[in-house]
Amino acid sequence: MKLTKRKGFNFFRSYYDVYNELETDKDKVAFLNALLDRQFLGIRPEGLKGMAKFAYISQTNSIDTQVKGYEDRVISLNKTTPNYNPWQGVEKVFLNPPQQEKEKEEGKEEGKEEGKEEGKEKEERVDYENIILEFNSFDWKLSKLKALNSERKKHIKSRIKEHGRAELSQAFKKVKESVFLQGENDRNWKANFDWIINSSNFVKIIEGNYDNKENKLNPLMR
């Protein structure tokens, strides 16, 4: 069902980060449309493809938490109304003068709740399944990722806490573009997932130590 009369929502930094990492205007527009439709209309995205889909999935927990908080507040405003349908009645209730004060209170409560959400954003659960899907989506020479044990999850969580979810995606892209990390070196060595998420290796990747250099093989640094 559609949400109506929502005036706004917190646009978290993480939304901007993943948007900014998208390489094509088509993906950027698709991501923003999906985000806005979910926040203002309650519509879950369908048909998202490629990196736009991965960008949206990476923010699903935060987006759904915001929408659920809004839904709950709308319902709580009308819990004393018999047989109240929270969606069909939202617009009519908000246009009714006696409800104007309630609307103001709703805005205050929404601000408080979304402020708490922003403070807890770094503590949100990591979508490990999405990370597996993203890693395996690249057409590269690295071994596919089949599962995440507790040690891998610990490293992933640490890297995201230190650098942000968007930087993890950026690191994967840099690995894909690095001929050295793809095995074109004098040892035929290739990076793997565990090597990538190692703290010191991760920093070197995002700082560009393994970016392609003309007529020069990068040194293997562990």
Residues 61 and 111 in one domain: yes
pLDDT of residue 1: 45
The answer to the question of residue 73 being in a domain is: yes
Residues 23 and 95 in one domain: yes
Listed in sequence order, the residues at least 6 apart from 90 whose beta carbon sits closer than 8 Å to its beta carbon are 3, 4, 5, 74
Q: How far apart are CA 107 and CA 101, in angstroms?
A: 10
The answer to the question of residue 40 being in a domain is: yes
Show the domain range for 29: 13-123
**At residue 63, does pLDDT exceed 60?**
yes
The answer to the question of residue 7 being in a domain is: no
The answer to the question of residue 218 being in a domain is: no
Torsion of CA 51, 53, 59, 63, to 10 degrees: 150
Q: pLDDT averaged over the chain?
A: 78
The answer to the question of residue 108 being in a domain is: yes
Residues 65 and 116 in one domain: yes
Residues 49 and 149 in one domain: no
Residues 196 and 104 in one domain: no
Residues 118 and 178 in one domain: no
Q: How far apart are CA 100 and CA 102, in angstroms?
A: 5
Residues 54 and 110 in one domain: yes
Residues 96 and 169 in one domain: no
Whether this prediction's pTM lies above 0.75 is answered by: no
pLDDT of residue 113: 62
The answer to the question of residue 79 being in a domain is: yes
The answer to the question of residue 134 being in a domain is: no
Last residue of a domain, one of 123, 156, 179: 123
Instruction: Say if residue 169 is exposed, middle or buried (CB neighbours under 10 Å; 0-12, 13-18, 19+).
Output: buried
pLDDT of residue 87: 40
- Quickly list H helices, the chain: 13-21, 25-41, 50-58, 60-77, 90-95, 100-120, 128-137, 150-163, 165-177, 193-196, 199-206
Q: How many domains is the chain built from? A: 2
Residues 115 and 180 in one domain: no
Residues 85 and 172 in one domain: no
Q: Collapsing DSSP states into helix, strand and coil, what is residue 213? A: strand
pLDDT category, 105, cuts 50, 70, 90? Answer: low
Report, as an integer, the average pLDDT of 116-129: 65
